């Protein structure tokens, strides 16, 4: 297993940034993917960075066992958006990052070899990527995701006082926008696009539990198929460490 912290200049962001990369030393999956590795883009939560997953979980060991590469970017507190007053992080994540990562490392471009997952804010980002670009990702997984963004910005939340306007602009236009997962789910359900496998979990004691219940109900009503799991658990790494192992077992590798 190779663990690499990679710094490079992101043209989209007009600044240097970092990604944490995990490459399995032995992977039988590489032979079936034309010499390239399947890859899971693993997204961090609010207030964290690219190092969060390795600091708090055993995902490196789990990935080695599966023979899959991990790419872990940093997006600050952007909520995986093209910020109204800030950097275009969603464009960076969806366009530049995969191209740069593939130029540096032996990663497969095939849809069936590309996956995305995340915790909390990163759970939102993972489903946003999967729902926005179903032609690029075979699966997307949210662990304790902050999925109901409209309710979050209009109710109790963990945003700093100035952040909501900087990230989303006028929140009156948030519902139905490209940042509203409920709207993205509805659009995908009626499109002709192949749907990615979707996975969602949340602890029943998590403060985001209601967000997850409401998104699951909406996705199913819209006609999407989603693997949903809930169990006793809070918003913490003991729960996420168990569930990311479950996600890796669930991925259609």
Determine the Cα–Cα distance for residues 137 and 111; give it in Å rounded to an integer: 5
Domain range list for the chain? 2-250
Determine the Cα–Cα distance for residues 142 and 80; give it in Å rounded to an integer: 14
Which of 45, 44, 39, 36 has its CA nearest to residue 63? 39
pLDDT digits (tens, 9 = 90+) for 90-99: 999 999 999 9
User: DSSP label at 253?
Assistant: -
Percent share of the chain, pLDDT over 90? 88
Mean pLDDT of 211-240: 97
Whether 2 shows a pLDDT value over 80: the answer reads yes
Which CATH class, in words, describes the domain spanning 2-250? alpha beta
Contact 78, 167 (CB under 8 A): yes
Pairing relationship of beta strands 69-73 and 39-43 according to DSSP bridges? parallel
- What local confidence, expressed as pLDDT, does residue 152 receive? 86
pTM, two decimals, is 0.96
Whether 117 shows a pLDDT value over 90: the answer reads yes
């Amino acid at each position: 297993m190779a663990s690499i912290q990679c710094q490079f200049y992101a043209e989209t962001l007009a600044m240097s940034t970092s990604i944490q990369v995990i490459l399995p030393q032995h992977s039988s999956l590489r032979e079936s993917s034309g010499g390239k590795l399947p890859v899971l883009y693993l997204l961090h939560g609010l207030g964290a960075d690219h190092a969060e997953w390795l600091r708090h979980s055993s995902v490196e060991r789990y990935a080695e066992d599966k023979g899959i590469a991990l790419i872990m970017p940093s997006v600050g507190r952007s909520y995986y958006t093209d910020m109204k007053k800030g950097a275009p992080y969603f464009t960076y994540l969806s366009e530049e990052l995969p191209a740069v990562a593939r130029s540096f490392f032996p990663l497969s471009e095939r849809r069936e070899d590309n996956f995305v997952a995340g915790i909390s804010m990163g759970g939102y980002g993972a489903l946003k990527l999967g729902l926005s670009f179903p032609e690029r990702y075979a699966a997307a997984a949210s662990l304790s995701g902050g999925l109901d963004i409209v309710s979050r910005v209009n109710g109790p939340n963990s945003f700093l006082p100035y952040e909501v306007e900087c990230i989303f602009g006028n929140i009156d236009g948030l519902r139905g926008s490209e940042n509203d997962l409920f709207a993205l789910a509805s659009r995908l359900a009626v499109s002709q696009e192949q749907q990615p496998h979707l996975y969602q979990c949340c602890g029943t004691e998590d403060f985001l539990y209601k967000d997850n219940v409401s998104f699951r109900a909406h996705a199913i009503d819209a006609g999407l198929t989603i693997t949903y799991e809930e169990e006793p658990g809070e918003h913490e790494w003991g729960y996420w460490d168990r569930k990311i192992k479950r996600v890796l077992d669930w991925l259609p590798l």
